[in-house]
Amino acid sequence: MLTLVRLTLTTVAKRRKDYVELERSVAASNELLDSLASYLSTFQQDLSAVSGQVADLQSRSAGIESQLKGRQVRFRRGHGLTARVYCPRSTRCSTTSSSRPLWS
């Protein structure tokens, strides 16, 4: 029994360097995993914020699209015409500018 204990202690002493290196590797891996977990948590929060902004933009886009559809006036299908919608600013510009053609 005493010989077995000496043999085990001798083996442990020889492999001590390996055990110390293994312990350092495990500690470094744990630090890396903690850092990665922190990074992923921050990324998830940022992604959630961006997702909220995208949802807001989609809602605003749908509102603008419905306003645009509300402004379009369609004539009878027989004529195949669609009324044009002009911005109020361009309408004011065309009514206040001179009516003289550019080529004359």
Could you tell me which residues are beta bridge partners of residue 74? 82
Which tokens go with 32?
């890396």
- For position 35, what pLDDT does the model report? 97
Tell me what pLDDT residue 76 has: 42
* pLDDT tens digits along 46-84: 999 999 999 999 999 999 988 888 776 554 444 555 556
**Residue 104: per-residue pLDDT:** 46
> Position of tokens 């911005």?
87
The two structure tokens encoding residue 85: 């919608």
Amino acid 79: pLDDT = 53
14-29: pLDDT as tens digits:
888 888 999 999 999 9
